[in-house]
Amino acid sequence: MVSTMPGVTAPENGRQSQNVGLRPQQGVGGAPNQPKARCAVPHPHLAMLGLYMGAFLGMLSETSMNIALPDFKASFGISAGVAQWMVVGYMLVIGVVLPFSSLLTKWFKTRTLVFVALSSFLVGSLICAASPSSMFGVLLAGRVIQGVSTGLVLPMMFSVILELFPLNKIGSAMGVAALVVMFAPAIGPTLSGALIAAFSWRSIFVFFAVISVVALVCSAVWMVNPYELTRPHIDLLSCVTSVLGFGGLVLGVSLVSVLGFAWQVVLILVVGVAAIAWYSYRQLHMTAPVIDLRALAIPQFAVGAVIVMMNFGITLATMYLMPQELQNGLGVRVALTGLVMLPGGIVNAAMSMISGRLYDIFGAKWLVRGGLALSVVGIVLLMLAGPNSALAFVVFAHVILMIGVPMAMNPAQSSALGALPGNLSTDGSTILNTLQQVLGAVITAVTTILLSAGQSGAQAAGAGKAAAFVAGCRWGFVFALALAVIALVASFWLKASTVSEGAVRQG
């Protein structure tokens, strides 16, 4: 049985079904038949609820820790470098687990994987909340367990959407997923700051645990199994090179911002890159790869992937720079920093939903180009901010950016995944999410290096502390601007992609 829930229609023809042609087929009386989902369920959003909540927790957790690092230092008596492992360790585990998610969906039922993932996040949160103040290792262990959950849930959320929703509703469903991916990191610092101010850093993990329980209940009630289990051969060498490659690369680039290019860091990076190269070569020459990289040979997926990666990089770079610039460059209090960024977060959430619906109607091409053009404007405005800038100007610039980023992100991702045949949908989702996590580590490291270099250069030229920090942030914003320009150029290779425009997805 493919599904264990009543009222669920199993996928046709094994793993996927062919249900969409060049145009909607004509029904009785000449009316067009509505496209059908590969795995029809009565209430697909309810079936997705546990995955939505799990992904929301994972992304929320990714940015919530930054504001809590000083509290970890004080509670455990550790250095800033050691405390940073709460961020690095989490990203490292996600980078290791993500490449296996597609393979795992072919071996285990989706309901089982979701239950294991959400249970892992719950257990990890409880361990963190209860960790003794003298044992940082216990806290870090809980954090690592949380990373396992996020590495499983993120790619599954996107791939399961492609199974449960008909083609003409994919954009709206991806809008909800984009809301999770884009809004959760935006409110992470605000929420964690409020919890720390009202209680302590432990309350962050208690909050995570409560939401995990709710997500588990939702999954137990509504989650379905949309895939037929094929249980392909597992290549152990691919598994080893995947762990060494993605784990080594994420670890290496994360350590660059802490240790610089010490020989140990360079060695880790070389091993990581070499392992990924061998892993990729092996996947392309196997009959049952862990990840089918042939998805990247499909032009519209490759173009969409580039745009998604660059857009994600813009988000990470600006979210890393803005709180620091507000506090150290403009003299904004920590408590007020979250409020200054809140309007942009709200606009981000609204635009994530709206862009999904607009994609269903108009397709990706012009939405992506318009969104990226707005992103360029927003970044340029942020570059113009200085120590004496009004907060209203910074809020305005951030809002412009937060209109543009989700306006481009959701349609680009929907277009990329929609360009894949059904048998590559889980692989495509895994590729996108793996690249995002690896890129996330690279973006953070590069932005940190540029911030430090720009600040040092300004100080050497005689600038004051605040002005020097703003100068460093401008270097970082120039990097974000370069990412936006690359994505904008790539968008001119993006084709129209809605049912009415002739999208094709074959099973």
pLDDT (tens digit, 9 = 90+) per residue, 70-93?
Answer: 788 888 888 766 787 888 788 888
- Any bridge partners for residue 505, and if so which? 20
pLDDT score at 507: 41
Residue 326 carries which DSSP code? I
User: Is pLDDT larger for residue 151 or for residue 188?
Assistant: 151
DSSP tag of 227: S
Q: Can you give the pLDDT at residue 33?
A: 57
DSSP class of 24 = P
Better-predicted residue by pLDDT, 119 or 495: 119
Helix (H, G, I), strand (E, B) or coil at 6: coil
Measured CA to CA, the distance from residue 283 to residue 407 in angstroms comes to 33
Reported as a pLDDT band with limits 50, 70 and 90, residue 283 is confident
Please determine, for residue 391, whether its predicted confidence score (pLDDT) is greater than 80: yes
Find, among 193, 215, 44, the residue nearest to 122 by Cα: 215
Number of H helices, E strands in the chain: 17, 0
Look at residue 19 and tell me whether its pLDDT is greater than 70: no
Residue 110 host element (H or E): helix 110-130
What gap in Å lies between CA 112 and CA 17, rounded to an integer?
A: 23
pLDDT given for residue 12 in this prediction:
41
CA distances from 143 to 93, 150, 180, 185, 215 (A): 9, 11, 20, 17, 19
Q: Report pLDDT for 10.
A: 42
Q: What gap in Å lies between CA 73 and CA 81, rounded to an integer? A: 9
Mean pLDDT confidence for 462-466? 81
Q: If we measure between CA atoms, which residue out of 407, 348, 398, 351 comes closest to residue 378?
A: 398
CA distance 365 to 112: 37
Average pLDDT over residues 92-110: 83
Question: Is the pLDDT at 4 greater than 80, yes or no?
Answer: no
- The values of phi and psi at residue 208, to 5°, are -60, -40
